[in-house]
Amino acid sequence: METIHVEATERTPEIHFDFARNHFAIRGESYPEDVAEFYGPKVRSLAAHVGQLQGASIEFHFELIYFNSSSAKVLIGLFDLLDEAAEKNQVEIQWHYEADDANMEELGEEFGEDVSHATFRMVAKD
């Protein structure tokens, strides 16, 4: 599958899905006008790709500044998808947050609690 790369805008994050290397990243602000329209096709491609992987090494970086509640629905779906994939693959999820951003740190910890198969790493940035 071809790499999906979308630059960040004021209200949507950068999306970088490198299917060949199994490196994925979402970076920036996320409060799109229409969450389904923005994430829907990209997440469907990701699910189709990840669903057929076996014994692969997958890395997913989340580097969010702010996300609204509709985006949170997408995020939790991604964590569930990755955790399921980790039953057959090696999956590492990295949650990046600014060191002084208590809120983003707490949200990362909360999402991480439900991840049981994948490795969930909290990464503080200075």
Residues lying near another protein in the complex (CB under 8 A): 10-11, 31, 33, 66, 68-70, 72-73, 76, 80, 98, 100-103, 110, 114
If the CB atoms of residues 69 and 116 are measured against another protein, the closer one turns out to be: 69
Least distance (Å) between residue 53 CB and another protein: 23
Tokens of 52: 């057929």
Least distance (Å) between residue 91 CB and another protein: 19
Least distance (Å) between residue 35 CB and another protein: 10
**b/e per residue 57-78 (b: at least 16 CB within 10 A):** ebbbbbbbeebeeebeebbeeb
If the CB atoms of residues 36 and 48 are measured against another protein, the closer one turns out to be: 36
If the CB atoms of residues 22 and 64 are measured against another protein, the closer one turns out to be: 64
- Side by side, the strands of the sheet bearing 57-67 are 4-6, 14-18, 23-30, 57-67, 90-98, 119-125
Q: Which residue, chain included where needed, has tokens 């999956």?
A: 91
What's the full length of the chain, in residues? 126
Least distance (Å) between residue 34 CB and another protein: 9
